[in-house]
């Protein structure tokens, strides 16, 4: 634990220097607030706007979590199915990449046309964005089981389902968490984009309104909230990973 | 006397890929293991022992021939043998006790019984304190003890041990041999054991089947005359050394036998190292 805290020091120190330099530069050059607000102004804006920010953040958080959970479930199921159904991976895996090649800018408006301005198109958009890194990471984990363990399990007569539940799935868990971490970062950014294509609440809407009104400080306040949100989500998944893999962390690689 | 295992004229030919010639791995291999007997297959590397294990384990079909366990043909049937591989093959995400339970569970032992069995036996062989540890904290020798225990507790009557000590250092290996010997002599399971080490084979087995290099065929069967229970003492028995030399002569590569002493030069081979030590 002490080690962890020591590791946090260097980035925090760099961050502090950057913020101080920023503050000094804005004061020194007399930069106008609508061009670049100083950290102090941003902090006071966060305080002032706290009630509105909180309201919009909870809307964004709702979409993010729903989309992330659907995406994670879809990614997990898809990886398991592609792995377990013979031939499915060969047929579908290359096509999965196609879903990621459709620009989100095009997908968003299309989903609004098909599903209206409600929650539905946003959740679908997030699911599409989130499932991919999870599926790909987990499929890698499922197919890369240790050959000597695989051969042992087959020699003692493990059935296909026993192979999956007792060897391949546990082996894929660290891979699954890598996918979840990537998807978590994507999900917050995608949720904010999804809110800008239709709807009346959320940090995406707040940011768009701030920009229209040249309220740059509000924009920066929202950015600070988004970064915090992403970090918290990432931290939760990191903590879950630790909990799942305790005891085996050192041996999950190598050997 | 019941036969635990009958290998009946088993041949295996792998079709060559592309223009390569087909690979002849096993050549009409026939031998059997009596119930409660410890039989060792001894042969040079690449003599198809792993292929034979895969056939006995049901992972592969022989090109010709039949495998019978206690009178019943088990061609292509998996899960009929208790198995200990060369590498310990413990799941890194399970504790030692859970690893043993996993193998028993797959062999069809109930979860509760598997749990009590693994706890009891870990304690009986002096491994109680590592039951809740993860495999990576164990030394190679300890991991192999757990791996052996896992096979010993599996309910299938025939145990197949595939070069179980091949990856251990010489000293650990000798300790493991005597450990296994004492455990086995208490329980007398039917065992098919594979090794490169003549000394290991002589110490442990009732009978040694000497195989030639590819395609594997039986060169000779050697009954090991030492009475049981055995111990390290037989290492200094003159008969032990005589048998060691005799088997080593069988295993020497053909060109050395024929052309005579290319490497060592000694006329009677007195100075020659044994085929494999420890």
What is A64-118 written as a DSSP string?
HHHHHHHHHHHHHHHHHHHHHSTTHHHHHHHHHHHHHHS-HHHHHHHHHHHHTTS
| Contact between residue B201 and residue B195 where contact means Cβ atoms under 8 Å apart | yes
Report pLDDT for B150.
94
Q: How many domains does chain B have?
A: 1
Report pLDDT for A243.
87
- Residue B186 covered by a domain: yes
Q: Which of B59, B80, B87 lies at the smallest CB-CB distance from A148?
A: B87
Residue of B nearest to A159 (CA): B106
Radius of gyration of chain A (CA): 22
- Residue B94 covered by a domain: no
**Is 80 exceeded by the pLDDT of residue B258?**
no
- Residue B93 covered by a domain: no
**Is 80 exceeded by the pLDDT of residue B260?**
no
Asked if A247 reaches chain B (Cβ–Cβ under 8 Å), the answer is yes
Structure tokens at B23: 């690979």
Cis ω for the linkage preceding B215 (within 30 of 0): yes
Asked if B111 reaches chain A (Cβ–Cβ under 8 Å), the answer is no
Q: How far is CA B269 from the centre of its chain?
A: 29
Q: Compute the average pLDDT of residues A190-204.
A: 89
Taken as a whole, chain A contains a residue count of 255
Report pLDDT for B254.
61
Q: How far apart are the first and last CA of chain A?
A: 26
Query: How high is the ipTM of this complex?
Result: 0.85
- Residue B168 covered by a domain: yes
Question: Domain with B77 in it: what CATH number?
Answer: 3.40.50.300
- Residue B11 covered by a domain: yes
- Residue B22, domain extent: 3-81+156-260
């088990």: which residue's tokens? Answer: B74
Q: Which of A157, A171, A252 lies at the smallest CB-CB distance from B106?
A: A157
How far apart are the C-alpha atoms of B163 and B187, rounded to whole Å?
20
Q: Which of B54, B79, B135 lies at the smallest CB-CB distance from A156?
A: B79
What CATH architecture applies to the domain A39-244? Answer: Orthogonal Bundle (1.10)
C-beta atoms of A251 and B134 within 8 A: yes
Q: Identify the three-state secondary structure at position A130.
A: helix
Q: Compute the average pLDDT of residues A209-235.
A: 93
Q: B94: which chain A residues are within 8 Å (Cβ-Cβ)?
A: 170
Report pLDDT for A101.
86
C-beta atoms of A155 and B85 within 8 A: yes
Taken as a whole, chain B contains a residue count of 278
- Residue B151 covered by a domain: no
Residues within 8 A of A (CB atoms), B 64-103 only:
78-83, 85, 87, 89, 91-95, 102-103
Residue of B nearest to A252 (CA): B92
| Contact between residue A224 and residue A42 where contact means Cβ atoms under 8 Å apart | yes
Give residue A79's pLDDT band: very low, low, confident or very high (50, 70, 90): very high
Q: What are phi and psi of B211, to 5 degrees?
A: -105, 150
Helix (H) or strand (E) holding B12: strand B3-14
Report pLDDT for A247.
59
């Amino acid at each position: 634990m002490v080690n962890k805290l020591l590791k946090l020091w260097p980035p925090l120190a760099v961050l502090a220097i950057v913020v101080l330099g920023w503050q000094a530069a804005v004061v020194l050059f007399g930069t106008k607030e609508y061009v670049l607000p100083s950290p102090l102004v941003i902090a006071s804006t966060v305080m002032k706007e706290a009630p509105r920010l909180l309201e919009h953040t909870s809307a964004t958080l709702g979409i993010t979590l729903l989309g992330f959970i659907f995406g994670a479930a879809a990614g997990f199921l898809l990886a398991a199915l592609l792995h377990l159904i013979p031939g499915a991976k060969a047929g579908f895996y290359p096509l999965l990449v196609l879903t990621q090649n459709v620009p989100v800018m095009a997908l968003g408006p299309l989903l609004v046309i098909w599903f209206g301005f409600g929650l539905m198109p946003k959740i679908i958009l997030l699911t599409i964005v989130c499932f991919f890194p999870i599926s790909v990471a987990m499929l890698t984990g499922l197919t890369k089981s240790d050959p000597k363990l695989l051969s042992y399990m087959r020699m003692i007569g493990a059935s296909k389902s026993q192979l999956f539940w007792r060897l391949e799935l546990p082996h894929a868990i660290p891979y699954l968490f890598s996918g979840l971490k990537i998807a978590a970062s994507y999900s917050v950014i995608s949720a904010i984009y999804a809110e800008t294509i239709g709807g009346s609440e959320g940090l995406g809407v707040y940011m768009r309104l701030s920009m229209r009104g040249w309220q740059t400080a509000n924009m920066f306040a929202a950015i600070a909230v988004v970064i915090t949100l992403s970090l918290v989500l990432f931290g939760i998944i990191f903590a879950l990973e630790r909990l799942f893999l305790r005891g085996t962390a050192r041996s999950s690689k190598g050997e | 006397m019941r036969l635990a295992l009958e290998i009946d004229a088993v041949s295996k030919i792998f079709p060559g890929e592309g223009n390569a010639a087909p690979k002849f791995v096993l050549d009409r291999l026939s031998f059997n293991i009596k119930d409660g007997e410890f039989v060792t297959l001894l042969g040079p590397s690449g003599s198809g022992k792993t292929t034979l294990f895969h056939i006995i384990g049901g992972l592969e079909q022989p090109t010709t021939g039949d495998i019978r366990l206690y009178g019943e043909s088990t061609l292509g049937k998996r899960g009929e043998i208790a198995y200990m591989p060369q590498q310990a093959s413990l799941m890194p995400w399970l504790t030692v006790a859970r690893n043993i339970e996993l193998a028993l569970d797959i062999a069809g032992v109930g979860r509760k019984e598997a749990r009590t069995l693994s706890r009891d036996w870990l304690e009986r062989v002096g491994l109680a304190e590592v039951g809740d540890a993860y495999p990576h904290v164990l030394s190679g020798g300890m991991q192999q003890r757990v791996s052996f225990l896992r096979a010993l507790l599996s309910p299938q009557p025939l145990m197949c041990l595939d070069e179980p000590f091949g990856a251990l250092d010489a000293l650990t290996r000798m300790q493991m041999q005597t450990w296994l010997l004492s455990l086995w002599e208490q329980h007398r399971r039917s065992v098919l054991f594979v090794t490169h080490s003549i000394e290991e084979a002589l110490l442990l087995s009732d009978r040694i089947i000497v195989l030639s290099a590819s395609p594997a065929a039986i060169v000779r069967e050697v009954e090991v005359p030492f009475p049981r229970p055995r111990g390290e003492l037989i290492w200094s028995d003159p008969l032990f050394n005589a048998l060691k030399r005799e088997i080593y002569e069988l295993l020497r590569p053909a060109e050395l036998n024929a052309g005579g002493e290319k490497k060592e030069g000694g006329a009677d081979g007195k100075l020659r190292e044994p085929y494999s030590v420890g």
